[in-house]
Chain A
């Protein structure tokens, strides 16, 4: 169990809890159950939790599968710095958010699930895990045409660019013979046409 990142599971659990809170809240509000205003709270809390938990954090080892379209929320969540990076804060936040929903039967399932997610986040925080945003890799753009060489003047097989350059540099320095002169083949080539 040494390398389990509990925060990843806590994240899935919290996201599910958010959805359950929203559903329970909608049922309570639409049905105008007794104390339905807790339902309205539950919808708001659920939406907040879903938005906070949607961007998946980066795994310490290996590649992380991003959720579709998460980069927009990642930039927002990143802004809060230590508040969103630290899992102790998340554990406490989720625990506090879950409490009011516990007063209504329709949303009590959301409370239980969010409280469990809070517990798993606490475990993750104790083990020193942190939320790191998944950054898109900067795309390396080599200049178009930068590696195209002039069409070669000598027939194949040709040595690589450096070997070709060096003689010309030496020649430029020594003002020697013509660059790229007749090819000196390493293995003697004989014409086999009879």
Chain B
């Protein structure tokens, strides 16, 4: 398993239990100028991403480990379907169920052409399904999926900046008003501003409060 550097623009995590296929996919991805990390199992993949499932809680939303290694950005995950213990499909499900990682595009590879398997994976959110042996032509199809996420991240960043600006102006307004009001009102407005902030952060989880 190699450590990722941030030289190239895109970083792909490849998962396959076959050492030959790992070598092959690594070479294919490097030829296409991507940064590559290969692992031999789904659990190692999750570990690499920084997954840490809270076994005690009932929620099936894994949280990221607090002592996550350096911020590893993975732009795409390509995984074999048939693997012992955790199949590629299981891995796909875990990723799509996670709030932190569901935006990472996932591609499935398989040596068997089973239509029901293919549609199941696509329904679960896989971007593509490649039949093995994987070719350079297949790997060249990956860029648009990675670009999509990058663009979405840029948009997200822009939205956050503009919403932070909104909140900043709200806080100024409310602090101007509270100079003439009770201490209680002060607290209420501050809480409301915080609610606005948390509203944006949790993507419009409606809490019934409105802010002027």
Chain A complexes with chain B = no
Chain B residues proximal to chain A, CB less than 8 Å: none
Chain A residues proximal to chain B, CB less than 8 Å: none
